[in-house]
Structure 1
């Protein structure tokens, strides 16, 4: 059964990342899946989700309060993949942020149903 999101498409035994670490990967190679927020200025410049943004008061006092919502996928060989749900940087706790978070958790649920 195929499950399609804008940023990732799932097939029976594989998934294709469309936004992030693009390519085809085997679901059986996935060790861990986390929903995270990546700091805007580091997207595409460092390893995926190396610079994370946490919610709460600390986050709002840092200055740039925008991030990319996505998923960090760790494979059995310790390779780290990224799936970006946010198409553009979103501000914490806005409607778009909440929508992206909701979709990210739906994607995580699909992974968990296979693991």
Structure 2
């Protein structure tokens, strides 16, 4: 049985927790975290995401690649929720349905 992977992300709440001030016990963030991502790192992430999609579309996916797809969708959802982009929530709901369909198909083929 497949549990709904992303349902809590889409259907329970679209509200994001309020940002709070930094806790006094937390170490300051490193400069590398605060500056924009280097262009070559962004290209590499983009290439990995693209190749993951291509492999999964051609039925050459693996559990690792499937997890990468889930990670990619979560990242897109949270980046969009932070105000970067205007993707409709239905796009993420459709992605969730497709991921669940693929999981069911994978479980059926194992049996």
User: TM-score over 0.5 for the alignment?
Assistant: no
Structure with the higher strand share, 1 or 2: 1
Structure with the higher helix share, 1 or 2: 2
- Structure 2 length as normaliser, TM-score? 0.32
Which structure has the higher relative contact order (CA within 8 Å, separation 6+)? 2
Bigger Rg, which one:
2
